[in-house]
Structure 1
Amino acid sequence: ALDPQYAKALGVDIDNLVISQPDTGEQALEIAEALVRSGAIDVIVVDSVAALVPKAEIEGEMGDSHVGLQARLMSQALRKLTGSINKSKCIAIFINQLREKVGIMFGNPETTPGGRALKFYASVRMDIRKIDTIKQGEEMIGNRVRVKVVKNKVSPPFKQAEFDIMYNEGISREGNVVDVGVKENIVQKSGAWFSYGDIRLG
């Protein structure tokens, strides 16, 4: 679901935003490819890969086995989509979700739906996750988020950053300034408090 007011607060140009809600995964990826080829779109966001359900699964019965269907769909679509993106000036952003692999005793139990194709074709992959909740008294007002670059074909990978996302506001610019201040020893941090010289910042 899209909240236009929140999107606008985050800097999204609502007047030039095109929203499509396809019925199947195939339809979604065909629309994405057509928009890339049109040259009329600068950025395409697919939200989310986990929700791209193949037509056969939608039309099938509950309990039917559909092993590998989504992975095959992504592999076929990305071969076409990558070629179109290379010829255009469009950026495609795929949002995905983390799943836990059942029965994994060693190694990372986390995986992402959609098979390996997206990991292979992606120029940049980022792991974004909440690491803390920001509170004002008892009220939750935002989240502390960590972003780690796990793949990067255009610059050095494995860098990471932390920042605050405030509810109904987006990324906190003030929080970023304070973080830089702490890093450069301009702002002092003591427990949950920050101070600049004799001034307590909160």
Structure 2
Amino acid sequence: NLIVSQPDTGEQALEITEALVRSGAIDVIVVDSVAALVPKAEIDGEMGDSHVGLQARLMSQALRKLAGVISKSSTVCIFINQLREKVGIMFGNPETTPGGRALKFYASVRLDVRKIETLRNGTDIVGSKTRVKVVKNKVAPPFKEAEFDIIYGGGISREGCILDLAVNMDLVEKSGAWFSYKGQRIGQGRDNTRLFLKANPLIRDELDAKIRSLITAGGAVEADVSEDEGREEDILGLDL
């Protein structure tokens, strides 16, 4: 079940989050977004009033309370944030996130999620290719990277992931725009091949099983590596 709450202030939102975590009745809580958590003083004030550091103090206080409560519960709390750019930065990563530094320190896992490509079917835009970097991880090795398709109205495309891995593992042959499996052409163009796998679950599941078998056996999977991968000073500046 999905429960949607739209509180009036940032304090209200974080109090609701704490209450839900304490209740133990919710498995996953998503706060969307940290940048939109407006302190009550800012809402009650006038346009143009200065409220330096108010949101950062709010987040720091809330996370001190939430950290202990979350650690004793089975609830996963996800904070979505937005990117901003620092003014006058000539060197290093100019990107930063609202809400201060507390969230970066308290988070167990931090993900940098970016759209890298628009997916089209002819002239129609059907989705986007997304890259996720694990920029912090307290429970597993960090700095891993994954790419997947998000199809509008359909969510994350399982078939797109299977196709990419199958090509990388030479289970599916790619020649020009054509994709072939067991010597038979299964589609022209990536999107058409993805739709073929969606329409033929037996072939999709067969490829899925082969991929899992190869990974379990230690088969190598190629990954596209961006130019700035490993530049820790850039990566750690993000908070998504």
Distance 2:141 2:66 in 1: 25
Structure 1 residue ranges, 4+ long, deviating more than 6 angstroms after superposition: none
Shift of 1:87: 1.2
Distance 1:184 1:96 in 2: 35
Shift of 1:188: 2.7
Between Structure 1 and Structure 2, whose CA radius of gyration is higher? 2
Q: Deviations over 1:144-202 (max 9, x none)?
A: 00000000000000000000000100011110110110110112334554333341423
- Structure-1 residue corresponding to 2:220: none
In the alignment, structure 1 residue 96 sits paired with structure 2 residue 81: yes
In the alignment, structure 1 residue 111 sits paired with structure 2 residue 91: no
Shift of 1:47: 0.6
- Structure-1 residue corresponding to 2:16: 31
Q: Deviations over 1:89-137 (max 9, x none)?
A: 1110001111111111100111111110000000000000100000011
- Structure-1 residue corresponding to 2:219: none
Equivalent in 25, 30, 37 of residue 52 of structure 1: 37
Distance 1:175 1:32 in 2: 35
- Structure-2 residue corresponding to 1:12: none
Q: Which amino acid aligns with 1:163?
A: F
Mapping 1:72-91, distance limit 5 Å: 72-91=57-76
Q: Which amino acid aligns with 2:171?
A: I
Aligned length: 187
Distance 2:175 2:164 in 1: 13
Relative to the length of structure 2, the TM-score reads: 0.75
- Relative distance call for 1:30 and 1:191 in structure 2 (3 A) is farther
Distance 1:31 1:76 in 2: 15
- Structure-2 residue corresponding to 1:199: 185
Q: Deviations over 1:26-58 (max 9, x none)?
A: 000001001111111111110111100001111
Q: Which amino acid aligns with 2:105?
A: F
Distance 2:24 2:64 in 1: 18
Q: Which amino acid aligns with 2:32?
A: D
In the alignment, structure 1 residue 61 sits paired with structure 2 residue 46: yes
Where 1:148 maps in the other structure, the secondary structure is: strand
- Range 101-110 or range 181-190, more displaced: 181-190
Q: Which amino acid aligns with 1:184?
A: M
Q: Deviations over 1:60-112 (max 9, x none)?
A: 11111111111000000000001110111111000111111111110011111
Q: Which amino acid aligns with 1:199?
A: R
- Structure-2 residue corresponding to 1:180: 165
Distance 1:111 1:169 in 2: 31
- Structure-2 residue corresponding to 1:20: 5
Mapping 1:99-178, distance limit 5 Å: 99-178=84-163
- Relative distance call for 1:193 and 1:61 in structure 2 (3 A) is farther
Distance 1:169 1:192 in 2: 24
Where 1:182 maps in the other structure, the secondary structure is: helix
- Structure-1 residue corresponding to 2:217: none
- Range 155-164 or range 33-42, more displaced: 33-42
